[in-house]
Amino acid sequence: MIRVDNLTCRFNAGDPPVLDGLCLEIREGEYVALIGPNGSGKTTFSKHLNALLIPTEGSVLIDELDTRNQADIKEIRRRVGMVFQNPDSQIVGMTVEEDVAFGPGNLRLPPAEIRRQVDSALAAVGIATLAKRNPQTLSGGEKRLLAIAGILVMKPKYLILDEPTAYLDPSGRRRVLAMVKKLNGDGIGIVHIVHDMSDIGDAGRLVVIAGGRLISDGSPRDILAGFETLRSVGLSVPQVTELMHLLHRQGYAVTTNLLTVEEACGEIVSLINRAYGTFAGPSPQRKVAGNV
């Protein structure tokens, strides 16, 4: 597991801590969503998980490997892959396949093995048909999938994603989230720094950081049930959750800790059924003269 013990980070001596005594454990195969207001320390925390940053105080252990131990860093970075918020910052190849081959090439693997691993990683994220493309011609969503492929080829146990759906259109966002869910289903542990609260639906655990401190840690539904805590640190809540709380305050007997539009629709239909009898849904569309 990843074990974070009293993690404190100061960039300069005498400055207030960016991270202040964080303690956290993340099990192998777990899907953790990490949220917090701007400047809360989310990205700084994530960079400690693969030894891009070293604790000022405290420790970070990856499967008992200590990020403070220089001899362990290479193995830590193989086990913990990170996809940055801007995928262009980690794309180095002239073609998609060259970019994915960069990691195993540095390990001096035989060319045939590199070819096999690259093909497997591209297929895993669904962009095998883009292998010969220049990365700069890809869409934002495709670039993020390329960045994920470049990490997968190194066979990580944990994947850190820093706001992977930021600035994507709805189609690209759905594609990236579906891929993250699939990777977690394949056994890879996920730490997903969330930009849009509606992205937390597939996470089994929600961690809230504010001011460099751990505020809440639990299931998304439990934390959203007390959403006033989130608002108190400057966070919004999913629109679905806010709608359910609004209906509840108006006196309607609805479940408030819902996460998805589908759940909300089911709850509202159930409410109508209880109040007025079975809801048959909209009438079938009828043809009207002159209309197509």
φ/ψ of residue 12, rounded to 5: -140, 145
**pLDDT exceeds 60 at position 218:** yes
Q: Residues of the chain with pLDDT > 90: what percent?
A: 53
Residue 113: predicted pLDDT: 93
Average of per-residue pLDDT across 126-152: 93
**pLDDT exceeds 70 at position 13:** yes
Give, for 23, the enclosing helix (H) or strand (E): strand 19-26
What are 190's strand-pairing partners? 31, 159
Which sequence spans correspond to the domains of the chain? 2-219, 241-276
**pLDDT exceeds 80 at position 276:** no
Burial zone of 129 (CB within 10 Å; 0-12 exposed, 13-18 middle, 19+ buried): exposed
Average of per-residue pLDDT across 248-256: 85
Homologous superfamily of the 2-219 domain (CATH)? P-loop containing nucleotide triphosphate hydrolases (3.40.50.300)
Query: Model-level pTM?
Result: 0.84
Contact call for residues 202 and 183 (beta carbons, < 8 A): no
In angstroms, rounded to a whole number, what is the distance separating the alpha carbons of residues 83 and 87?
7
User: Between 150 and 274, where is the model more confident?
Assistant: 150
Average of per-residue pLDDT across 280-285: 48
Residue 290: predicted pLDDT: 39
- Alpha helix (H) residue ranges in 93-238: 96-106, 111-124, 140-152, 170-185, 220-225, 228-232
| Tens digits of residue pLDDT in 166-185 | 888 888 888 889 999 999 99
pLDDT category, 270, cuts 50, 70, 90? Answer: confident
